[in-house]
Structure 1
Amino acid sequence: MEDPHRQADSFASPDAASAGECSLGIVVERSIGESRIAQLGIRSWPKWGCPPSKFPWTYEASETCYLVKGKVKIYPEGSSECVEISAGDLAVLPKGMCCTWEVLIAVDKYYKFDH
């Protein structure tokens, strides 16, 4: 598995996050379609996968990711609430966020970092 945080790319559309719902600092666009995938050039982004697991993570850069498959609960540090994302969702996680990822169903995702 490749470590996604070793890659430093810019997000193709900085205002894309404004179109989604925002919860706990995480912006999510639910079930995006092929036109949105093509618009952002998602299929040219690096890919990352992970089996069911639970681990802490800190975002040194804003990450935009598109889940091809899987389901994840993201628990921001200091909150008992979580944001759930699943296959078909596009999510933007802010720079500086400390959180715990709980991978419920094995994840396959495309991702981009915006430093």
Structure 2
Amino acid sequence: MEVKIESPDKERLSALKVETWPIWTKEISRFDWYYGETEMCYFLEGRVIVELPDGQKIDIKKGDLVTFPKGLSCVWDIKEPIRKHYTFIED
């Protein structure tokens, strides 16, 4: 399972209507997470290291547009408080 990270321009964000997506926030913490649906999110603030089952660590920060695949189990290690827009994508 691949986590996709993009550095979108304003046109891409506008086309996705990111500003209409809900916002999720979370303080510095560490926790297990499972994606029951494919989720796309745009990071407005913060930094997190997402640890995948194979040991890979993905550094995600402000300005990243990330797609997490359905069925992914991972560990979120939030280094700086997170604020992100998110939406779920039909598979």
Report the TM-score when normalising by structure 1.
Answer: 0.74
Residue in structure 2 matched with residue 17 of structure 1 by the alignment: none
1:28 corresponds to 2:5: yes
- Gaps in structure 2 of 5+ consecutive residues: none
Tell me the TM-score normalised to structure 2 length: 0.93
* 1:39 is the counterpart of 2:39: no
The question of 1:95 aligning with 2:70 is answered: yes
**Alignment counterpart, residue 65 of structure 1, candidates 25, 41, 60:** 41
Cα deviation for residue 41 of structure 1 reads 0.1
Count of residues in correspondence between the two structures? 90
Larger RCO (CA within 8 A; separation ≥ 6): 2
Q: How many angstroms does 1:76 deviate by? A: 1.2
Give structure 1 regions of 4+ aligned residues with deviation exceeding 4 angstroms. none
Please state whether the residue corresponding to 2:13 is helix, strand or coil: helix
Q: Matches of 2:12 and 2:89 in 1, distance apart?
A: 19
Letter in 2 for 1:62: T
In structure 2, the partner of 1:104 is 79
TM-superposed CA distance for 1:34, in Å, is: 1.9
Q: State the shift of 1:33 in Å.
A: 2.4
Any gaps of 5 or more consecutive residues in structure 1? 1-23
Tell me the distance in 2 between the aligned counterparts of 1:36 and 1:110.
14
Structure 2: how far apart are the matches of 1:101 and 1:81?
12
What is the percent sequence identity of the aligned residues? 30
